[in-house]
Amino acid sequence: MRIVIKRLHNNQINGHTTTIYLLSPNSYLRSMSKKVRLRFAPSPTGGLHIGGMRTVLFNYLFAKHNKGDFIVRIEDTDQNRFVEGAEAYIFECLKWCGLEPDESVVHGGKYEPYRQSERKEMYKQYAEQLIVDGKAYYAFDTTEELEEKRKTVPNFQYSHASRSEMKNSLTLSDDETKKLLNSDASYVIRIKMPENETISINDMIRGEVSFNTSQVDDKVLLKADGMPTYHLAVVVDDYSMQITHAFRGEEWLPSSPVHILLWQYLFGLENMPQWAHLPLILKPDGKGKLSKRDGDRLGFPVFAMNWTDPKTNELTHGFRERGFLPEAFINFLALLGWNDGTEQEIFSLDELISTFSIERVHKAGAKFDYEKAKWFNHEWIKKSLASWLQPLVKEVLHKATVFVYDEDLLIKVIEMVKDRCVLFTDFVQQSSFFFAAPKEIDISSVKPKWNERKQQFFSELMRDYSLLETWKHDELEKTFTELAAATRMKPGEFLLPFRIMLVGGKFGPHVFNIAELIGKKETINRIKHTLQLL
């Protein structure tokens, strides 16, 4: 496959070369004929927040829409930031959301290994190749020296402007360099950024974005510990894993000229994936990108699932434990910055796969809106079949120590209460009383207006109910209203106390429906019990 790289102009301006490279539209089309492969590349430094999850989602949707592969590669090149359990947590989140990778550390694949720490050797070769080609150099400056520089020189950058006064293979003689390399002095390999060239990236979301290479510093490619930095590792791995489209957060845009240059030097621009820089998810209140601290501060989850930092023991809340359905979570995330152009808002994963297109991703960052997230969850609970919800509700009730002894009853209950449940955890309050008499009864909402006549009404009600042969809600209501009519008080005067007796508080579905489901014996028992408290 050959891809035309258009050299737009290459002229001498003040002695400097200005070159603009742009992939032509044809090359874009041609690259589409390859098998589409996308990768999500998290670093295992902690929990996965919704920004990361959305990046996963968009990667996954684009890959599946194009019948391609979705790969998860672990970017663990910073050994100082490694966090125990983070990697397993990431895969657990993906599993919960139903976004299973085709290839990864746990799924295997023909491009193994999928952990960068295990590919350490290959990066070094490429870094050294760059030195041979004059595109990179060894730098021997110590961390302390660099810190000192930054302190004394305002806005210090290790770049074309300053590299000649630093300690590196460009300023040292070959002999000195060799001597240092052979000694135990530590060194890094830095890219030698060209001067005053224009590099353009054709972003699938933003269109053409240009950078002047003079503004970009000589990024470290290979660290003193022999590990590559992100910059070298992405390029090498995206090439060796045959990645065709690379989606990542917008925060990577400024370093993209480094990546493009590396592609040009190492593997050829014609093999470079198509880039898409996704907009960021912002704090709901003020400024900046959403961080895990905002969740605690504002009272909503920020991670997909609960995450406890093994070092600090600090818990960050997750959507799963808060009572979100993965379908709703995914749906919400997808619509944060993307829409299909119609007014449809509720999408299943399959629908998202078939309608997703990266061009329709909004350019601007989006503020996180927890109210809207809850609305999606509510919609999903409402539209779901009771039988499908059943195991999940059972689990949530079980956690609240409510024992479900009758599966058929549970189905009926779910059908009756699901419209009132925004979060999954709402099922506890809305349905516990079907399975056990309420532990606490809100007497205070009844007591102030309680009187002899009411006392008598409920005694008579127990008598009438016990005589009923059919135990159906309409029958129960009829008996109730007829008895109430005889008292010459409004039926409503008795309705609230009745509800309190059956459910313990001012919530739940229609009272007579509740009475029907819990049965004659239990209904009478609960009336009797509450009467004793009054």
Partner RNA sequence: GGCCGGUUCGUCUAUCGGCUAGGACAUCUCCCUUUCACGGAGGAAAGACGGGUUCGAUUCCCGUACCGGCUACCA
Check residue 217 for interaction with RNA (CB under 7 A): yes
Check residue 253 for interaction with RNA (CB under 7 A): yes
77 — phi, psi (to 5°)?
A: -80, -15
Q: Which of 86, 97, 130, 220 binds RNA (CB under 7 A)?
A: 220
Check residue 341 for interaction with RNA (CB under 7 A): yes
Scanning 128-136, 329-337, 396-404, 449-457 for contacts with RNA by CB under 7 A, the matching segment is 329-337
C-alpha distance from residue 175 to each of 165, 181, 416 (Å): 18, 10, 83
Check residue 449 for interaction with RNA (CB under 7 A): no
Chain-centroid distance, C-alpha 75: 17
Closer Cβ to RNA, 230 or 300, answer by number = 230
Check residue 244 for interaction with RNA (CB under 7 A): no
Check residue 280 for interaction with RNA (CB under 7 A): yes
502 — phi, psi (to 5°)?
A: -80, -40
| Active-site position among 64, 219, 223, 292 | 292
Question: Is the Cβ–Cβ distance between 324 and 423 less than 8 Å?
Answer: yes
Q: Which of 3, 83, 170, 224 binds RNA (CB under 7 A)?
A: 224
Q: Which of 7, 34, 178, 382 binds RNA (CB under 7 A)?
A: 382
Q: Which of 282, 402, 413, 428 binds RNA (CB under 7 A)?
A: 282
Scanning 236-244, 293-301, 501-509, 521-529 for contacts with RNA by CB under 7 A, the matching segment is 501-509
Q: Binding to RNA (CB under 7 A): which residues in 125-154?
A: 141-143, 146, 150
Check residue 115 for interaction with RNA (CB under 7 A): no
Scanning 99-107, 175-183, 204-212, 348-356 for contacts with RNA by CB under 7 A, the matching segment is 204-212
Check residue 507 for interaction with RNA (CB under 7 A): yes
To RNA, the closest distance from the beta carbon of 287 in angstroms equals: 2
Check residue 238 for interaction with RNA (CB under 7 A): no
Check residue 496 for interaction with RNA (CB under 7 A): yes
To RNA, the closest distance from the beta carbon of 172 in angstroms equals: 15
- Ramachandran class of 136: left when φ > 0, alpha when ψ lies in -120 to 50, beta otherwise: beta
Residue 398 burial by CB count (10 A; 0-12/13-18/19+): exposed, middle or buried?
Answer: exposed
Check residue 24 for interaction with RNA (CB under 7 A): no
Check residue 474 for interaction with RNA (CB under 7 A): no
Q: How many residues bind RNA (CB under 7 A)?
A: 80
Closer Cβ to RNA, 89 or 230, answer by number = 230
Q: Which of 288, 310, 391, 519 binds RNA (CB under 7 A)?
A: 288
To RNA, the closest distance from the beta carbon of 280 in angstroms equals: 5
To RNA, the closest distance from the beta carbon of 196 in angstroms equals: 12
- Ramachandran class of 41: left when φ > 0, alpha when ψ lies in -120 to 50, beta otherwise: beta
Check residue 157 for interaction with RNA (CB under 7 A): yes
Q: How many CB atoms lie within 10 A of CB 483?
A: 18
To RNA, the closest distance from the beta carbon of 508 in angstroms equals: 5
DSSP labels for 211-269?
A: EEGGGS---EEE-TTSPBPHHHHHHHHHHHTT--EEEEEGGGGGGHHHHHHHHHHHT-G
Cα angle 511, 515, 516; round to 5: 115
Closer Cβ to RNA, 135 or 231, answer by number = 231
Check residue 51 for interaction with RNA (CB under 7 A): no
Quick check: helix, strand or coil at residue 462?
helix
Closer Cβ to RNA, 4 or 181, answer by number = 181
Check residue 10 for interaction with RNA (CB under 7 A): no
End-to-end C-alpha distance for the chain, whole angstroms: 85
Check residue 357 for interaction with RNA (CB under 7 A): no
Closer Cβ to RNA, 251 or 407, answer by number = 251
292 is catalytic: yes
Quick check: helix, strand or coil at residue 72?
strand
Chain-centroid distance, C-alpha 11: 46
Check residue 287 for interaction with RNA (CB under 7 A): yes
Cα angle 439, 504, 408; round to 5: 80
C-alpha distance from residue 471 to each of 416, 460, 496, 518 (Å): 17, 17, 21, 10
DSSP labels for 150-202?
A: HHHSTT---STTTGGGSSBTTTS-HHHHHHHHHTT---EEEE-PPSS-EEEEE
Check residue 402 for interaction with RNA (CB under 7 A): no
The length of the chain, given as a count of residues = 534
Question: Is the Cβ–Cβ distance between 248 and 277 less than 8 Å?
Answer: yes
Rg (CA), the chain: 32
Check residue 529 for interaction with RNA (CB under 7 A): no
Q: Residues with catalytic annotation?
A: 292
